């Protein structure tokens, strides 16, 4: 035992090395298996490179730790074959420690600095709501790093002070390598790597296409209309925001005007329970990207103030995040869109679907109405005139038969 402490090649050293090789293999398999088993197409850009960097970094970390041990191992092998190198080995080994003594303080300072920066950054961003509770992980990471450094310093000092207790040296290097091996695997599974994990996880198989964000987030009763949706009579005199809670009506109005899509998605957001911050934030971010940001694909017509209020918020999970913007949009729908909607083909069709076509009298009335279709969608392929053929033939009564 005492000799192997200096020469290297103690059983604990072998165990530690085996463990680190094992953990590294696990790591590599973890990354590769999903790709091999499920033939997931390789993602490009950061999605691919971040796991690669993480694996390579883990490899180097373990390698650098194994380095000390392996020097000892290799040299012990060499000693057997080549007695002459014995002195040289000792010298080498010693020089490592000398190097250590000389550089330990700056290295420790560097590590402490790293932790200090980490603490600083974390406090600076502590008010941001992250997707996966990254903040908690950051604090956890800081704690672990700090503890590791403390352990390292303790081990170093003990080794320096009790230079002659060989088991201490052996134990400390065993501990160091084992802890590092575990950490390497652990780091890969914590949530800051979550996006990577979701990308390469085994569950990847069940890739599904979601038509809307609310479906992807599993918000109940969202997405396509179920046939069983109750058919109810719509009274145009009721307040619009009440009417819009009717799904059938909402879908019909959505086809007529794009602003209603915003209402729909905010309504879906309101269905997520308030304590489910992660999903709320996901949905809020989706809405902001799609409707609020300047130049967004479906940007809504809201005032500068409401927009700024949303974009500068510190809490994306806030329940009233979109309230002012939503009020503006409802007001816009009420004053501008609704009046035209009641006399549009969309409402006619809606009524027809709801079996409301009661008598010829209604149709008679509608022929005289002035139809003003809106651009219902904004994506390039959309042709605003595609309904025109129907609408142009002023005999709207005949059109209704086509529906």
Partner 1 sequence: MLSCVTENMGLLCSRNRRYNDADAEENAQTAEIERRIELETKAEKHIQKLLLLGAGESGKSTIFKQIKLLFQTGFDEAELKSYLPVIHANVYQTIKLLHDGSKEFSQNEADFSKYVLSDENKLSDIGARLDYPYLTKELAQEIENLWKDPAIQETYARGSELQIPDCTDYFMENLQRLSDANYVPTKEDVLYARVRTTGVVEIQFSPVGENKKSGEVYRLFDVGGQRNERRKWIHLFEGVSAVIFCAAISEYDQTLFEDENRNRMMETKELFEWVLKQPCFEKTSFMLFLNKFDIFEKKILKVPLSVCEWFKDYQPVSTGKQEIEHAYEFVKKKFEESYFQNTAPDRVDRVFKIYRTTALDQKVVKKTFKLVDETLRRRNLFEAGLL
Output the smallest distance, CB 374 to partner 1, in A: 3
Please, which residue, 92 or 385, has the CB nearer to partner 1? Answer: 385
Question: Which residues fall within 8 angstroms of residue 122, CB to CB, at 6 or more apart?
Answer: 135, 138, 139, 142
- Verify binding: residue 369, partner 1, rule CB under 8 A: no
- Verify binding: residue 383, partner 1, rule CB under 8 A: yes
- Verify binding: residue 261, partner 1, rule CB under 8 A: no
d(CA 195, CA 47): 8
Rg over CA atoms, the chain = 33
What x/- string results for residues 129 through 168 when contact with partner 1 is judged by CB under 8 A? ----------------------------------------
Q: Which of 102, 198, 335, 365 binds partner 1 (CB under 8 A)?
A: 335
**Within 10 A of 296 (CB to CB), how many other CB atoms are there?**
13
Between CA 392 and CA 402, with CA 396 as vertex, the angle to 5 degrees is 100
How big is the site for partner 1, counted in residues (CB under 8 A)? 43
Question: Which residues fall within 8 angstroms of residue 137, CB to CB, at 6 or more apart?
Answer: 190, 191, 192
Longest dimension (CA), the chain: 113
Torsion, Cα 66 139 190 206, to 10 degrees, reads -160
- Verify binding: residue 327, partner 1, rule CB under 8 A: yes
Q: Which of 192, 332, 354, 362 binds partner 1 (CB under 8 A)?
A: 332
- Verify binding: residue 320, partner 1, rule CB under 8 A: no
Question: Which residues fall within 8 angstroms of residue 379, CB to CB, at 6 or more apart?
Answer: 297
* Piece of 73-81, 136-144, 165-173, 291-299 that binds partner 1 (CB under 8 A): 291-299
* Piece of 50-58, 117-125, 181-189, 334-342 that binds partner 1 (CB under 8 A): 334-342
Q: Which of 65, 66, 184, 300 binds partner 1 (CB under 8 A)?
A: 300
**For the residues of 194-242, what is the DSSP string, one character each?**
HHHHHHHSGGGGG----SSHHHHTT-TT-SSPPTTPPP----TTS-HHH
Please, which residue, 211 or 334, has the CB nearer to partner 1? Answer: 334
* Piece of 87-95, 134-142, 310-318, 376-384 that binds partner 1 (CB under 8 A): 376-384
Q: Which of 126, 136, 211, 305 binds partner 1 (CB under 8 A)?
A: 305
- Verify binding: residue 303, partner 1, rule CB under 8 A: yes
Where on the phi/psi map is residue 212: left (φ > 0), alpha (ψ -120 to 50), or beta? beta
Please, which residue, 215 or 377, has the CB nearer to partner 1? Answer: 377
Q: Which of 16, 72, 288, 330 binds partner 1 (CB under 8 A)?
A: 330
**Are the beta carbons of 118 and 141 closer than 8 angstroms?**
yes
Q: Which of 258, 264, 265, 268 binds partner 1 (CB under 8 A)?
A: 258
Please, which residue, 120 or 236, has the CB nearer to partner 1? Answer: 236
**Where do the DSSP E strands lie in 103-192?**
none
Please, which residue, 114 or 342, has the CB nearer to partner 1? Answer: 342
Q: Of 21-60, which residues contact partner 1 (CB under 8 A)?
A: none
Question: Which residues fall within 8 angstroms of residue 200, CB to CB, at 6 or more apart?
Answer: 30, 31, 34, 35, 40, 51
d(CA 161, CA 108): 18
Burial bucket for residue 78 (CB in 10 Å: 0-12, 13-18, 19+)? middle
**Are the beta carbons of 191 and 69 closer than 8 angstroms?**
no
- Verify binding: residue 241, partner 1, rule CB under 8 A: yes
Output the smallest distance, CB 301 to partner 1, in A: 5
The pair of three-digit structure tokens given for residue 194, joined into one six-digit string: 């979550």
Q: Which of 173, 250, 286, 307 binds partner 1 (CB under 8 A)?
A: 307
Q: Closest Cα partner for 61 from 140, 133, 148?
A: 148
Output the smallest distance, CB 183 to partner 1, in A: 48
- Verify binding: residue 344, partner 1, rule CB under 8 A: no
Distances (CA, A) of 221 to 20, 146, 259, 354, 380: 49, 47, 21, 20, 29
- Verify binding: residue 394, partner 1, rule CB under 8 A: yes
Please, which residue, 230 or 368, has the CB nearer to partner 1? Answer: 368
Q: Which of 176, 177, 255, 257 binds partner 1 (CB under 8 A)?
A: 257
Contact residues toward partner 1 (CB under 8 A) are 239, 241, 257-259, 294-296, 299-305, 307, 327, 330-332, 334-337, 339-340, 370, 372-375, 378, 382-385, 389, 392-395, 398, 401
């Amino acid at each position: 035992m005492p000799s192997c402490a200096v020469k290297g090649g103690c059983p604990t050293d072998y165990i530690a090395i085996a463990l680190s090789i094992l953990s590294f293999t696990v790591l590599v398999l973890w990354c590769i298996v999903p790709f091999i088993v499920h033939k997931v197409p390789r993602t490009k850009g950061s999605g691919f490179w971040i796991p690669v960097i993480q694996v390579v970094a883990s490899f180097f970390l373990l390698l650098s730790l194994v380095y000390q041990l392996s020097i000892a191992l290799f040299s012990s092998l060499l000693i057997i074959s080549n007695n002459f190198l014995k002195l040289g080995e000792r010298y080498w080994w010693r020089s490592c420690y000398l190097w250590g003594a000389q550089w330990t303080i700056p290295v420790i300072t560097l590590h402490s600095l790293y932790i200090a920066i980490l603490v600083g950054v974390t406090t600076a961003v502590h008010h941001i709501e992250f997707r996966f509770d990254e903040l908690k992980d950051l604090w956890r990471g800081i704690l672990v790093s700090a503890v590791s450094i403390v352990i390292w310093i303790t081990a170093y000092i003990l080794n320096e002070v009790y230079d002659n207790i060989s088991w201490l040296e052996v134990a400390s290097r065993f501990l160091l390598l084992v802890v590092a091996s575990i950490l390497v695997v652990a780091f890969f599974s914590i949530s800051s790597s979550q996006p990577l994990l979701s990308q390469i996880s085994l569950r990847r198989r069940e890739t599904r296409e979601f038509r809307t964000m609310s479906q992807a987030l599993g918000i109940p009763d969202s997405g396509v209309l179920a046939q069983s949706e109750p058919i109810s009579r719509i009274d145009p005199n009721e307040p619009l925001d009440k009417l819009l809670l009717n799904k059938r009506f909402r879908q019909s109005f959505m086809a007529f005007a794009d602003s209603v899509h915003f209402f729909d998605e905010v309504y879906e957001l309101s269905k997520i329970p308030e304590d489910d911050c992660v999903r709320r934030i996901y949905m809020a971010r989706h809405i902001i990207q799609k409707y609020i940001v300047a130049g967004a694909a479906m940007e809504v017509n809201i005032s500068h103030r409401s927009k700024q209020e949303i974009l500068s918020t510190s809490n994306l999970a806030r329940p009233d995040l979109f309230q002012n913007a939503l009020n503006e949009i409802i007001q816009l729908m009420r004053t501008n869109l609704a009046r035209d909607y009641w006399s549009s083909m969309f409402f006619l069709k809606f009524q027809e679907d709801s079996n409301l076509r009661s008598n010829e009298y209604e149709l008679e009335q509608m022929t005289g109405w002035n139809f003003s279709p809106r651009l219902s969608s904004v994506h390039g392929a959309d042709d605003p005139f595609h309904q025109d053929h129907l609408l142009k033939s002023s005999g709207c009564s005949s059109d209704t038969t086509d529906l």
